[in-house]
Amino acid sequence: MNKKAKLNGDVNHVHFIGIGGISMSGLAEILHRDGYTVSGSDWTASDITRHLASLGIKFHSGNDAAYITNDIDLVVYTAAVKPNNPELTAARDKNIPIMDRAKLLGLIMKGYPNSIAVAGVHGKTTTTAIIAEVLLAADLDPTISIGGFMEAIGSNYRVGDSSYMVLEACEYFDSFLQFYPQIGIILNIESDHLDYFGNFDRMIDSFRRFAGNIPDDGTLIIHKGIPCLDKVIENLTCNIITYGDSDADFWAKDIRYSEQGLSSFHIMNGERSKGEATLQLRGTHNIDNTLAAVAVASILNIADEIAIQGISQATGTKRRFEHKGTYKGAAVVDDYAHHPTEIKVNLAAAAHGTYKRIICAFQSHTYTRTQNLLEEFAAAFEHADIVLILPIYAAREVAIGPTPNYLAELLTERICDHGKKAYFLESFEMAEDWLKDNILPDDLLITMGAGDINIIGERLIKSVE
């Protein structure tokens, strides 16, 4: 398959600003393997950039206009890159075409007739990983682009040599509107990224347009329980498959949990059982994610037993309820959850286990999300016994409020208002000291957030090795 032909014929050298990112690195390697000359820059070197360099991709540390040489034919950037970025400015000055990551990914997708795009406010990474496991079990040699490290492929991407591709479709900045998948999946729609969308109705419209990009002979797979379902599917001309609720096309029957909190259930297609599955992934949300993957398998005519094999061996990706080890007899788990619903469902999944107490150390991601969803965050920790709140991970933002920790401290107060024990700790070191003094055998420590809070659990485990 000649995927290279999907870019302009004059393009040979592609430069990536932010090449060390999870998605950007995968795209860089896809183009490299397709025969392009690839270079890129990022703020710091990492295992990802070192891997790219080992392939012959030139890596530059930092941002510098000098990196934009005259032989570059296309510059690719992410939404996080500022308009005044020196490399982006240099590309414009030299009249070198520029393209955002989503558009490039959309162009690459055109080389894959059986493309699958997974959308939703949360669950994209795990569901993409489950679908990837099904495609691998069926020996379909898929290309995979995923927002996390997937153990089964030893990376965040895989370059296959078939017509199959599965990837995440991010709604932020309307990025997924660049995609025209044969199979589109919408897992859920909830308020998030309101710094961009402004209001929930604008978000719904964006998902509706994503669904509208699916061709007439393609299929939308969508959760039956989405409150705004009718608005999303209105006037669609593609096929529609629902999952989740008992009146959906695909649903789960006879759900049972082991002492470790792992679920077993019958996969139903209407009134017909497609077989029984036992997951290695915790939580009712992952039962739903599995049903979406089974719906994909049915469209692709993958045998039920092969689909069940794939979903039963799926372990997700790093930072998705990832067991890191133990500390003083307590289990240490890390999770990427950074939206109230994600927090709630992951703590509910933990509650199915036999832990004495659940201690959640949470680092909220961005000030605007914390402010916009403050009350939802405050109510999300109902299944935790103790909540430790750390300073907010700023990412691209500046602090909101009279002090940098104002919102984190306010969130702590709101959690206490819901009857939970919650403490604000000003640093990772303070959190580690608190845990050293208070954690008990048979507790579960779960670190949560999209920033670098995983460091806390890793340091504790290392301290007793």
Q: Could you tell me if residue 298 is inside a domain? A: yes
Question: Looking at residue 206, what is its pLDDT?
Answer: 95
- The verdict on 185 and 293 lying in the same domain is yes
Q: What is the mean pLDDT of the chain?
A: 92
Residue 297 in this model has a pLDDT that exceeds 70: yes
Q: Could you tell me if residue 232 is inside a domain? A: yes
Residue 434 in this model has a pLDDT that exceeds 60: yes
Residue 36 in this model has a pLDDT that exceeds 90: yes
Contact assessment for residue 296 and residue 108, using Cβ atoms and an 8 Å cutoff:
no
Cα separation, 220 vs 237, in Å, equals 10
Read off the tokens for 104. Answer: 């490039």
- The verdict on 339 and 443 lying in the same domain is yes
Per annotation, catalytic residue among 29, 87, 133, 168: 168
How many angstroms separate the most distant Cα atoms in the chain? Answer: 63
Question: Looking at residue 195, what is its pLDDT?
Answer: 81
Domain boundary among 313, 332, 353: 313
Q: pLDDT-derived band of residue 6, with 50, 70 and 90 as boundaries?
A: low
Residue 387's domain is classified under what CATH number? Answer: 3.90.190.20
Least confident span in 308-312, 340-344, 375-379: 340-344
Q: pLDDT-derived band of residue 1, with 50, 70 and 90 as boundaries?
A: very low
Read off the tokens for 410. Answer: 């306010």
Cα separation, 61 vs 56, in Å, equals 16
Question: Looking at residue 282, what is its pLDDT?
Answer: 83
Q: Could you tell me if residue 105 is inside a domain? A: no
Question: Looking at residue 5, what is its pLDDT?
Answer: 41
- The verdict on 332 and 302 lying in the same domain is no
Cα separation, 148 vs 125, in Å, equals 7
Residue 152's domain is classified under what CATH number? Answer: 3.40.1190.10
Question: Looking at residue 157, what is its pLDDT?
Answer: 83
- The verdict on 196 and 125 lying in the same domain is yes
Residue 34 in this model has a pLDDT that exceeds 50: yes
Helix (H, G, I), strand (E, B) or coil at 327: strand
Residue 146 in this model has a pLDDT that exceeds 70: yes
DSSP, residue by residue, 343-391: HHHHHHHHHTS--S-EEEEE--B-HHHHHHTHHHHHTTTTT-SEEEE--
Q: How far is CA 99 from the centre of its chain?
A: 22
Amino acid (1-letter code) at residue 371: Q
Cα separation, 354 vs 340, in Å, equals 23
Residue 86 in this model has a pLDDT that exceeds 70: yes
- The verdict on 245 and 394 lying in the same domain is no
Read off the tokens for 203. Answer: 């978000």
Q: pLDDT-derived band of residue 147, with 50, 70 and 90 as boundaries?
A: confident
Find the mean pLDDT for residues 44-66: 93
- The verdict on 242 and 153 lying in the same domain is yes
Residue 143 exposure: Cα atoms within 13 Å on the Cβ side:
28
Reply yes or no on whether 125 is catalytic: yes
Per annotation, catalytic residue among 3, 124, 224, 344: 124
Q: Which is more confident, 198 or 64?
A: 64
Q: Which residues of 401-439 are buried (b: 16+ CB within 10 A; e: fewer)?
A: eeeebbbbebbbebbeeeebebbbbeebeebbebbeeeb
For residue 47, give the nearest of 22, 70, 83 by alpha carbon: 22
Find the mean pLDDT for residues 197-212: 93
Q: Could you tell me if residue 106 is inside a domain? A: no
Residue 186 in this model has a pLDDT that exceeds 90: yes
Give me the residue label for tokens 């710094």. 195
- The verdict on 65 and 144 lying in the same domain is no
Q: How many other C-beta atoms can be found within 10 angstroms of the C-beta atom of residue 311? A: 25
Residue 426 in this model has a pLDDT that exceeds 90: yes
**Burial bucket for residue 78 (CB in 10 Å: 0-12, 13-18, 19+):** middle
Q: pLDDT-derived band of residue 241, with 50, 70 and 90 as boundaries?
A: very high
Full domain range(s) for residue 408: 322-463
User: What is the tally of structural domains in the chain?
Assistant: 3
Contact assessment for residue 58 and residue 19, using Cβ atoms and an 8 Å cutoff:
no
Q: Could you tell me if residue 128 is inside a domain? A: yes
- The verdict on 283 and 343 lying in the same domain is no
- Name beta bridge partners: 422: 387
Q: How far is CA 71 from the centre of its chain?
A: 35
Contact assessment for residue 77 and residue 85, using Cβ atoms and an 8 Å cutoff:
yes
Q: Could you tell me if residue 57 is inside a domain? A: yes
Helix (H, G, I), strand (E, B) or coil at 23: helix
Find the mean pLDDT for residues 302-314: 95
- The verdict on 343 and 451 lying in the same domain is yes
Provide the residue count of the chain.
465
User: In this prediction, what percent of the chain has a pLDDT beyond 90?
Assistant: 72
DSSP, residue by residue, 414-446: HHHHTT-EEEE-SSHHHHHHHHHHH--TT-EEE
- Name beta bridge partners: 327: 330
Q: pLDDT-derived band of residue 349, with 50, 70 and 90 as boundaries?
A: confident
Domain boundary among 284, 313, 342: 313
- The verdict on 455 and 308 lying in the same domain is no
Contact assessment for residue 210 and residue 175, using Cβ atoms and an 8 Å cutoff:
no
Question: Looking at residue 22, what is its pLDDT?
Answer: 79
Q: 421 to each of 271, 346, 417, 446, how far by Cα in Å?
A: 45, 18, 9, 15
Sign of the Cα pseudo-torsion (148, 150, 155, 159, in order): negative
Cα separation, 344 vs 322, in Å, equals 16
Residue 190 in this model has a pLDDT that exceeds 90: no
Least confident span in 86-95, 142-151, 313-322: 313-322
Q: Could you tell me if residue 211 is inside a domain? A: yes
Question: Looking at residue 21, what is its pLDDT?
Answer: 85
Residue 79 in this model has a pLDDT that exceeds 70: yes
Residue 93's domain is classified under what CATH number? Answer: 3.40.50.720
Residue 223 in this model has a pLDDT that exceeds 80: yes
Q: Could you tell me if residue 107 is inside a domain? A: no
Amino acid (1-letter code) at residue 65: A
Reply yes or no on whether 376 is catalytic: no
Cα separation, 177 vs 182, in Å, equals 14
Domain boundary among 43, 72, 100: 100
Give residue-wise pLDDT tens across range 362-418.
Answer: 999 999 999 999 999 999 999 999 999 999 999 878 899 999 999 999 999 999 999
Contact assessment for residue 165 and residue 116, using Cβ atoms and an 8 Å cutoff:
yes
Residue 4 in this model has a pLDDT that exceeds 60: no
Reply yes or no on whether 124 is catalytic: yes
- The verdict on 386 and 238 lying in the same domain is no
- The verdict on 141 and 259 lying in the same domain is yes
Per annotation, catalytic residue among 3, 29, 49, 125: 125
Helix (H, G, I), strand (E, B) or coil at 212: helix
